Amino acid sequence: MNHAPLLKKLLITCLLMFAFAFAMVPLYDVFCDVTGLNGKPSLEKASASESINTQRQVDVSFTTHAQSGAPFKVQSEQYSVAVQPGAMREVKFSAKNTSNEDKVMQAIPSVSPGKAAKYLHKIACFCFDQQPMKAGEEMEFTLLFYVDTELPDDVEELTLSYTVFDISGHVVAKND
């Protein structure tokens, strides 16, 4: 029996499956950008709002949690704030390196509901940069943001969540 045609088809199928799996991350990112799913907000600094909707109020709450094993404690001064779309709001966050070693922290934001992610604009955010912290050091960060006036009317509240990562090993590897 000649199994060469079957072997060729199986090999091509395996290669196509590998290529598809390799392309999934960029495809997923494009899909999320287009649909607004996954609550992935922009990590670019926004410009100030040009108008304020004084007839509407949106509640924005804040949550933070550290990656498993990350030696950081981060929390906002306020659990939530009421904002008028277009109006700037400032919220303070405190962070502490709970380890006995110098570390580098990186915060990754997400917004819930996901469709609201593109309407939350950050002017200043500790998530824009890596944050080096000495052993036991405490720092304060300012989040300056506004909710776009184009936020759909059915969204009355949203949550800005930060996941904090210890990227110390990655930073050292980059500098070597």
pLDDT range class, residue 176, cuts 50, 70, 90: very low
Residue 116 sits in the same domain as residue 53: yes
CA distance linking residue 74 with residue 95, whole number of Å:
4
How many folded domains does the chain comprise? Answer: 2
- Tell me: the pLDDT tens digits for 72-117? 999 999 999 999 999 999 999 999 999 999 999 999 999 989 888 8
CA angle 174, 30, 117 (to 5 degrees): 90
- Tell me: the pLDDT tens digits for 126-146? 988 899 999 999 999 999 999
Residue 93 sits in the same domain as residue 13: no
Tokens of 27: 């495809």
Residue 76 sits in the same domain as residue 139: yes
The pLDDT value recorded for residue 39 is 52
Residue 28 sits in the same domain as residue 68: no
Q: 94 is in which domain, residue-wise?
A: 39-175
- Tell me: the pLDDT tens digits for 45-84? 666 677 888 899 999 999 999 988 889 999 999 999 999 9
- From residue 76, give the alpha-carbon distance in Å to each of 11, 61, 64, 90, 174: 53, 9, 8, 11, 30
Query: Which of 111, 120, 118, 126 is closest to 145 using CA atoms?
Result: 120
Per-residue pLDDT for 171 more than 80?
A: no
Residue 21 sits in the same domain as residue 87: no
Query: Which of 153, 159, 157, 148 is closest to 85 using CA atoms?
Result: 148
Residue 60 sits in the same domain as residue 114: yes
Could you give phi then psi for residue 116, rounded to 5 degrees?
-85, -10
Residue 54 sits in the same domain as residue 94: yes
Q: Work out the percent of the chain whose per-residue pLDDT is above 70.
A: 83
Residue 168 sits in the same domain as residue 129: yes
Per-residue pLDDT for 174 more than 70?
A: no
pTM: 0.71
The pLDDT value recorded for residue 58 is 95
| Mean per-residue pLDDT over the chain, rounded | 85
Query: Which of 23, 109, 22 is closest to 65 using CA atoms?
Result: 109
pLDDT range class, residue 17, cuts 50, 70, 90: confident
